[in-house]
């Protein structure tokens, strides 16, 4: 099998069914497949061969979906790129992945042209829109007139994607996934979410990220779901389209749920069609989960805790398990084993902290062109994630921190997520992040960076007293700063290294 056979099957068997809805454009499955084939056949005519790397520098759109599957049908390897990156960062990914061709949105022509200046490997820049620069070609000129399925023999063992990590610890690394691995990610999602062709999916998280792409767009296309795509996340528009299109399933990062809860008069929108809500990509505080449950329903939330290197695979907390294990990350998903181990690779006892490792069908093949990094991450078939976790007597894992984010104050370990969970319970706090900052006596001390809700003010002594009721003394933030917003990457993770580099902000009073 491969990742696009489901699209071709739906084009035959469900030709007139609505497949993609983007803005005012609606495509049936026959039209979806035809648009994909026009790109695939153009790539083949250009000379693309199996294994060639092709970049996608696009926001969420119909063209993103067409381009992604077009690359796969031509036997190419898709390299989705974060459109929010600078030209310098994009140039690094283009060089590192050996991209020959890049598809980009019209409003990214300048940043792409600059990124391509120092790249000798890149042969073609294709622009989706009406405006191009020198040495660029419009997609309307590039697309083939042929809508026939190409005859490239794409195998399950062929590479499908190179997905770049978020780069929170340095330069991003290219995670290589073949069709087999991504298929198993999708099949696992279908089983867990009980997805079917009757589902109406909403894509609001970035499609260049592994979660939205591999967990939802690909399975949704294979099953024959109707899929509504939003170019940018807008909380009001999200609620409007849930109401209008009777969305049954969507995924959001914690920040998105937070913004949905802040929509004025949100009760006017009917969200009763939603039967499954996925959340993940970053830790979601219990207080935020509970508030989201009150909005969408208590029996339909799925905690999805994985990482790009896992396909993304990892552990999941099912709706029923939220009743007894709320706050936990979950158990291993289908086709995956998960453990928490010490420095010797031995399982830790319940309640002890160790490194979260996983093994299974979806685990990455390698880091592209980085054999030493691959060797460090993959040991005896297990992926060492760099995440710290605990495991309880029932086998449920709870992620407590990244190794690099753990704070050691006076010899005591402080896990930032534990402190953040408490801060999110404060009624005046919209967002919070906890980091360690240097201290001449204790080595590090706990610092909290908070974003107050509109019109609210945070008082340092009052907040410390609030924390003292739920945290040991050494875990209480000694320094508290206010920011208008937290720096995040596209997947919703707070960029704590940026906060550590410059933790200015306005000190709390």
> Three-state secondary structure along 52-87?
CEEEEECCCCHHHHHHHHHHHHCCCEEEECCCCCCH
pLDDT of residue 497: 78
Tens of pLDDT, residue by residue over 58-98, are 999 999 999 999 999 999 999 999 998 889 889 999 999 99
How much is the pLDDT for 86? 85
Average pLDDT in the chain: 93
Closest CA to 414 of 385, 378, 456, 445: 445
Which has the higher per-residue pLDDT, 169 or 279?
279
Domains 23-154 and 406-507 share a fold: no
On the question of pLDDT at 441 being above 80, the answer is no
Q: Are strands 18-22 and 226-229 parallel, antiparallel or unpaired?
A: parallel
Lowest-confidence region among 90-99, 129-138, 298-307, 400-409:
400-409
pLDDT class of 507 with cuts at 50, 70, 90: low
**pLDDT at residue 167, rounded to an integer:** 58
pLDDT(490) > 70: no
Per-residue pLDDT for 313 more than 90?
A: no
Q: Residues 185-192: what's their mean pLDDT?
A: 95
Q: How confident is the model at residue 396 (pLDDT cuts 50, 70, 90)?
A: very high
Looking at residue 102, its pLDDT comes to: 98
Least confident interval from 56-60, 111-115, 214-218, 440-444: 440-444
Q: What are phi and psi of 117, to 5 degrees?
A: -60, -40
Q: What is the tens place of the pLDDT at every residue in 112-133?
A: 999 999 888 999 999 999 999 9
Number of Cα atoms under 13 Å in the Cβ half of residue 346? 4
pLDDT category, 184, cuts 50, 70, 90? very high
CB neighbour list of residue 146: distance below 8 Å, 6 or more residues apart: 37, 38, 41
What band does 330 get if pLDDT is binned at 50, 70 and 90?
A: very high
Evaluated on CA atoms 90, 94, 97, 99, the torsion sign reads positive
What would the mean pLDDT of 415-431 be, rounded to a whole number? Answer: 91
Which fold is adopted by the domain 406-507? GMP Synthetase; Chain A, domain 3 (3.30.300)
The predicted pLDDT at position 272 comes to 97
Whole-number pLDDT of residue 508: 54
- At residue 253, the pLDDT reads 87
Average pLDDT over residues 254-280: 94
pLDDT digits (tens, 9 = 90+) for 92-110: 999 999 999 999 999 999 9
What is d(CA 240, CA 223) in angstroms, rounded to the nearest whole number?
25
Residue 23 has pLDDT above 60, yes or no: yes
Of the candidates 444, 448, 356, 363, the one whose C-alpha atom is nearest the C-alpha of residue 403 is 356
Question: What is the distance between the alpha carbons of residues 7 and 149, in angstroms, rounded to a whole number?
Answer: 11
How many other C-beta atoms lie within 10 A of the C-beta of residue 438?
A: 9
Q: Per-residue pLDDT averaged across 194-223, rounded? A: 96
pLDDT above 60 (res 509)? no
Question: 200: burial class by Cβ within 10 Å (0-12, 13-18, 19+)?
Answer: buried
What pLDDT was estimated at residue 64?
A: 98
What confidence category does residue 504 fall into, taking pLDDT thresholds of 50, 70 and 90?
low
The predicted model gives 153-161 an average pLDDT of 97
Indicate the domain borders of the chain. 23-154, 186-402, 406-507
**Which residue in 139, 121, 145, 146 sits closest to 52, CA to CA?**
121
Supply the pLDDT for residue 235.
97
Residue with the two structure tokens 């890049």? 102
Distance CA 508, CA 479 (A): 8
Q: Is the pLDDT of residue 255 over 90?
A: no
pLDDT tens per residue across span 454-469: 889 899 999 999 999 8
Q: How confident is the model at residue 506 (pLDDT cuts 50, 70, 90)?
A: low
pLDDT at 429: 95
Question: What CATH number should be reported for the domain whose range is 186-402?
Answer: 3.40.50.12780
CATH topology of domain 23-154: Rossmann fold (3.40.50)
- Mean pLDDT lowest for which of 266-275, 305-314, 370-379, 487-496? 487-496
Secondary structure of residue 195 in the 3-state scheme: coil
């Amino acid at each position: 099998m491969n990742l696009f056979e489901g699209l071709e099957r739906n084009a035959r068997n469900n030709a007139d069914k609505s497949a993609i809805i983007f803005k005012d454009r609606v495509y049936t499955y026959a039209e979806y497949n035809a648009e994909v084939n026009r790109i695939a056949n153009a790539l083949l005519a250009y000379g693309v061969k199996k294994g060639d790397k092709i970049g996608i520098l696009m926001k969420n759109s119909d063209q993103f979906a067409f381009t992604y599957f077009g690359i796969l049908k031509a036997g190419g390897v898709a390299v989705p790129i974060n459109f929010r990156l600078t030209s310098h960062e994009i140039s690094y990914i283009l060089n590192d992945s050996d991209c020959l061709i890049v598809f980009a949105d019209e409003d990214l022509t300048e940043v792409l042209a600059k990124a391509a200046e120092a790249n000798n490997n890149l042969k073609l820049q294709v622009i989706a829109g009406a405006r191009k620069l020198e040495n660029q070609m419009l997609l309307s000129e590039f697309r083939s007139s042929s809508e026939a399925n190409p005859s490239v023999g794409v195998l399950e063992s062929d590479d499908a994607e190179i997905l770049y990590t978020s780069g929170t610890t340095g330069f991003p690394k290219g995670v290589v996934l073949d069709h087999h691995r991504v298929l198993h990610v999708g099949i696992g999602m279908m089983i867990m979410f009980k997805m079917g062709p009757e589902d109406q999916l909403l894509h609001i998280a970035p499609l260049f990220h592994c979660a939205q792409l591999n967990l939802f767009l690909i399975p949704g296309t294979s099953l024959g779901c109707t899929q509504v795509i939003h170019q940018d996340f807008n909380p009001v528009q999200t609620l409007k389209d849930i109401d209008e299109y009777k969305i049954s399933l969507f995924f959001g990062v914690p920040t998105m749920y937070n913004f949905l809860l802040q929509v004025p008069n949100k009760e006017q929108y009917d969200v009763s069609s939603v039967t499954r809500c996925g959340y993940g990509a970053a830790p979601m505080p219990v207080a935020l989960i509970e508030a989201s449950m009150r909005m969408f329903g208590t029996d339909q939330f799925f905690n999805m805790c994985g990482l790009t290197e896992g396909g993304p695979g990892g552990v999941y907390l099912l709706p029923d398990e939220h009743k007894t294990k709320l706050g936990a990350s979950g158990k291993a998903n289908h086709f995956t084993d998960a453990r928490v181990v010490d420095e010797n690779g031995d399982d830790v006892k319940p309640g002890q902290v160790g490194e979260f490792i996983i093994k299974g069908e979806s685990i990455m093949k390698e880091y592209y062109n980085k054999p030493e990094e691959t060797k460090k991450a993959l040991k005896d078939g297990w992926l060492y994630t760099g995440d710290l976790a605990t495991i309880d007597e029932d086998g449920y894992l709870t992620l407590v921190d990244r190794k690099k984010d753990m704070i050691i104050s006076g010899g005591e370990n402080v896990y930032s997520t534990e402190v953040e969970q408490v801060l999110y319970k404060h009624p005046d706090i919209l967002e919070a992040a906890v980091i360690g900052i240097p201290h001449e006596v204790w080595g590090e001390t706990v610092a909290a960076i908070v974003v107050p809700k509109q019109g609210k003010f945070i008082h340092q002594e009052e907040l410390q007293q609030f924390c003292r009721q739920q945290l040991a003394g050494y875990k209480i933030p000694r320094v508290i700063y206010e920011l208008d917003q937290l720096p995040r990457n596209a997947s919703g993770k707070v960029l704590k290294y940026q906060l550590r580099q410059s933790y200015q902000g306005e000190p709390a009073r």
